[in-house]
Amino acid sequence: MTTPNQQVRRATVEDLPKLTPLWRQENLPWQDLEKRFKEFQVVEGEGGELLGALGLQISGSEGRVHSEVFARAEEADALRDALWERIRMVANNFGLVRLWTQLATPFWNQSGFQYAGSEVLVKLPAMFGGAPQPWRFLQLRPETAVPLSIDKEFAMFKEAEKERTDQMFRQARILKLIAAIVAIAVFVLVAIWAFVFFKMQSRTMGR
């Protein structure tokens, strides 16, 4: 679980300078992932630092959980728990039927994923394939429960609107900080001007 000072949210383009070093640290294909940064959910610390990130690639009603990275290894499991909760929420919003992964840490072994046999692998989207590691999957809902495309589009719209709102709040905080700095600078300049003015007046009166 995250602490009150941490935020789990969708990655934005402003996160790339912080995400790229984490991807490179784990020898992930960072040049490709940079183009797909919108797939990632991130945990942001109190000071704005990125503590961890996890990708969710979507193809139709299937999703692939991939490319987990963490700034500090000792916090990985706690951050995985928070990111996994967020991923499941996004998957539900998009009406996904299954999640796939090749992540093999103990956390994922305990999260309900099962090894995919040949009868299940035929459902693996081609865009997910290519890597040699075994695939595991998590069935989220029956095949017949796939919602209509309009529901998916509405979920995407809600997610996009939420991200836009969050970004506006972040920008508002930055503008507020800039305004405070400008106000302090103006106050200092006025104080200096007043000091110089009264000093010159004192000299003039003293003559």
pLDDT of 52 reads 96
Paired sense of beta strands 136-139 and 7-10, if any: unpaired
Residue 2 lies in a domain: no
Does residue 118 sit in the same domain as residue 53? Answer: yes
Domain span holding position 202? 148-207
pLDDT of 151 reads 57
Does residue 56 sit in the same domain as residue 106? Answer: yes
Residue 1 lies in a domain: no
pLDDT of 47 reads 87
Does residue 203 sit in the same domain as residue 154? Answer: yes
E-strand spans in 34-171? 40-44, 50-59, 62-70, 98-101, 114-115, 136-139
The owner of tokens 């991807």 is: 23
Q: How many CB atoms lie within 10 A of CB 63?
A: 27
Residues in the chain: 207
Contacts of 66-72 with C-beta under 8 Å, sequence gap 24+, read: 66/101, 66/102, 66/103, 67/23, 67/26, 67/28, 67/33, 67/40, 68/103, 68/105, 69/19, 69/22, 69/23, 69/25, 69/26, 69/28, 70/22, 71/22
Paired sense of beta strands 136-139 and 40-44, if any: unpaired
Does residue 169 sit in the same domain as residue 103? Answer: no
Does residue 68 sit in the same domain as residue 102? Answer: yes
What is the value of pTM for the model shown?
0.68
Does residue 128 sit in the same domain as residue 165? Answer: no
- Tens-level pLDDT at each residue, the chain (207 residues): 556 678 999 999 999 999 999 999 999 999 999 999 999 999 999 888 999 999 999 999 999 999 999 999 999 999 999 999 999 999 999 999 999 999 989 999 899 999 999 899 999 999 997 677 799 999 999 987 555 555 555 666 667 667 777 777 777 788 888 888 988 988 888 888 877 777 777 766 665
pLDDT of 76 reads 94
d(C-alpha 53, C-alpha 49), whole Å: 12
d(C-alpha 84, C-alpha 132), whole Å: 24
Does residue 135 sit in the same domain as residue 161? Answer: no
Q: Which whole-number Å values give the CA distances from 165 to 76, 87, 98, 110, in the listed order?
A: 28, 19, 29, 34
Sheet holding 7-10, edge to edge: 7-10, 40-44, 50-59, 62-70, 98-101, 136-139, 114-115
Does residue 12 sit in the same domain as residue 64? Answer: yes
d(C-alpha 168, C-alpha 174), whole Å: 10
Number of domains in the chain: 2
Does residue 126 sit in the same domain as residue 70? Answer: yes
Does residue 50 sit in the same domain as residue 142? Answer: yes
Residue 62 near residue 96, CB atoms below 8 Å: yes
Does residue 157 sit in the same domain as residue 137? Answer: no
Q: How many CB atoms lie within 10 A of CB 12?
A: 15
